[in-house]
Amino acid sequence: MQEVWVWVCVVAVFLGAAPQLAALIQFLLVGLHGVRNHYPKCAPVTRRVAVLIPAWNEGLVIDNTIEHMMSLDYPRDALRVYVIDDASTDQTPQLAQAAALRYPGNVFHLRREKGGQGKAHTLNYGLAHVLDNDWMEAVLITDADVQYSRDALARMVRHLADPKVGAITAYIKEGSDPGGFVSRSIAFEYITAQAASRRAQNVMGVMACVAGGAQLHSRENLIAIGGAIDTSTLAEDTYTTFLTELSGRRALFDPSAVVWAEEPDALTSLWKQRLRWARGNLQLSWAFRHAWFRPFSHRGIGGWVFGLIWFATVLTPILMLMAMVGGLSLLFLDPSWAWHAFRVLWLTNVFVYLFQLLFCFVIDPHTAKRAWLEGVLFPGFMSVALMAWSVFPERLQPLVQAFPSIGADWDWRTVLVVVLYAWVGACMAAGWGLYRLERAGAPAWLVRPLLAVVGVGPVLCAVSLTAYVYELRGAERHWDKTVKTGKVRQLE
C-alpha cells in the first residue's frame, strides 16, 4: 500500500511542473511565427474607426490619451474618439468637452449619468451609440491611460483586409516613467505573457485574449457576437475573444503594433488588478465548459493543446499545492524518491526559467535590458536558490549541513529541509503575507527587499489561489478600478 502512495505522491510532484511545460510549449511555438502568421493576408486598407475610451474619474490621464489618439498616423476623417464618461466626479467631463471643441467632428463626449456598474456596462453605452449609424466600420476599445505608437492603429487595421478576421490586439508594454520594482517586473512578465504567448497563439490559430486596452473589432464581428460586451464576468475582453472565435472569425495579435500602458507599482494595486483577471478566467472556464477539448465542434478553443495550456495556467496554484503535499509526503514515505522528485521538478523549472529569460532578450531586447534584474528575480531569490541547488546539489549541500543539529529527531536541519521541499507551495503564503504587510502600511524599504526574496511570480500565484476562494464563496463581482496617475511614457 505504501508503494502505491509513493507513486501517487511522485505524480503529484511532477504535475507541479505542468505550468512550466505549458509555458515552454508556447515559447517553442514562437519559432514558427516567422512562417505561420497573418501578414501575407494584410493590406494597407483604411477603415472608419470609432475609438471607445471608458472613463471614470480619469482626469489625470484622459487629455493626454486623447491628444495621442489625434496624433496617430491615421486619416483624420476616418477616426472618431468617443470618451464614455461613466458619471465621473472629477474634471474628466470638462477635459473631454474641451477636447471635443478642439477637434470638432473627431472627439465626442458621451456621459452616463448613472455609473459605477463596471467597464462592460460603460462600453455598451458607447457601442449602442456608434452602432446606431453606418459610419463606423471598426471599433477600437482602449483604456483612458493608454498611449498608442503612431503607426499602431494602422498596423492593426491592415489585418481587416481579410474578412475572416474579427478582432486584433496589439502588444501592450508597461510604460511607467519612473518605474519601480513591481512595474518593471510586470514589464518583463508582459514579454512572456504577450510578445511570446500571443505569437504562439497566432501559430495555433486561437487567441486567449484580445487585451482590453487594445482591441480592434470589425463591425461585422461586433454584430455577430450580439452587438454588446458581456457583463456577467470580470473578464469581458476574454469573453469577447472566445465569442469571436466560436462565431467563426479569427482573433489575432500583431506584435509590431505597440501600445504603452501604466501598470501598478504597489502590491496592493497589483493584487486588486490581478484578482479581477484571475476571477474572470475562472468564470470563463465555467461559462465555456461546453467548448473545452472538443476540437471537431469547437475548433480553436476546443483544441487539446490550447485547452491544456489554458488549464495548466488557471490551475497553477492547485498544481503547486499538489506538488508541495506530494514532496512533503515523500520525505516521510520514501526520502530517496523525495529527493529524485524534488530535483526533477526544480530542474524542469530551471530549464524553462533560463530558456524564457534568454528568449526575452531576443524577442524584446529593449524591455529585457530595462528590466533584466526584475526578470531574474521574478520567481524570487529563494526559488532561484532552489533551482541552483537542483543543478549543483553537491556544492550547496554543505549549506544545509551547516545548520545546527542537536541530535533530536526534529532539529533545525530537518526544519530547513522541510521548508525547502515545501517552498513550491509555501511561496504563495509568503506572497500573500507581503501583500498584507504592504496593505497594513509597511514602508517600501521593508517590503521591496522581501519581495525580491519571495518573488512577484509567487505573489501572482497567491492572487490566483485567492480568486478560487472568492469564487467558491460567491463573492460579489465588483469591478475594482486600477488608479492611474499619468506617468505612462513611450519608452522607445
Read off the CATH number of the domain in which 173 is found: 3.90.550.10
Pairing of strands 107-112, 138-142: unpaired
Q: Are residues 40 and 138 in the same domain?
A: yes
Query: Same domain for 90 and 212?
Result: yes
Per-residue confidence of the chain (492 residues) as pLDDT tens digits?
A: 778 888 899 999 999 999 999 999 999 999 999 899 999 999 999 999 999 999 998 888 899 999 999 999 999 999 999 999 998 889 999 999 999 999 999 999 999 887 777 888 999 999 999 999 999 999 999 998 899 999 999 999 999 999 999 999 999 999 888 889 999 999 999 999 999 999 999 999 999 999 989 999 999 999 999 999 999 899 999 999 999 999 999 999 999 999 999 898 999 999 999 999 999 999 999 999 999 999 988 878 999 999 999 999 999 999 999 999 999 999 888 888 888 899 999 999 999 999 999 999 999 999 999 999 999 999 999 999 999 988 888 776 676 666 565 555 556 667 777 888 899 999 999 999 999 999 999 999 999 999 999 999 999 999 999 999 999 999 887 766 676 667 877 877
- Do 350 and 217 fall into the same domain? no
User: Is 120 inside any structural domain?
Assistant: yes
Same domain, 291 and 374: no
Matching residue, cell 511555438? 29
- Look up residue 309 and give its three cell numbers: 495550456
Tell me what pLDDT residue 138 has: 97
Residue 488 falls inside a structural domain:
no
Residues 403 and 287 placed together within one structural domain of the fold: no
Q: Which residues have a Cβ under 8 Å from the Cβ of 204 and sit 6 or more positions away?
A: 29, 300, 303, 305, 306
The last residue of one of the domains, among 266, 297, 328, is 297
The reply to whether 234 falls in a domain is: yes
Q: Are 206 and 167 in contact (CB under 8 A)?
A: no
Under 8 Å between Cβ of 433 and 423? no
How far apart CA 319 and CA 365 sit, in angstroms, is 32
Q: Domain residues for 246?
A: 33-297
C-alpha cell at 159: 489585418
Q: Cα(54)–Cα(82) distance, rounded to whole angstroms?
A: 8
What SS3 class is residue 243?
helix
Q: How many Å apart are CA 50 and CA 78, to the nearest integer?
A: 8
Q: How many domains does the chain have?
A: 2
CB under 8 Å to 257, separation ≥6 — which residues?
Answer: 149, 151, 152, 153, 155, 156, 168, 170, 171, 214
Q: How far apart are CA 286 and CA 242, in angstroms?
A: 13
pLDDT for residue 392: 85
Q: How many Å apart are CA 25 and CA 309, to the nearest integer?
A: 8
- For residues 132 and 194, membership in a common domain is answered with yes
Instruction: Confirm if 369 and 322 have CB atoms less than 8 A apart.
Output: no
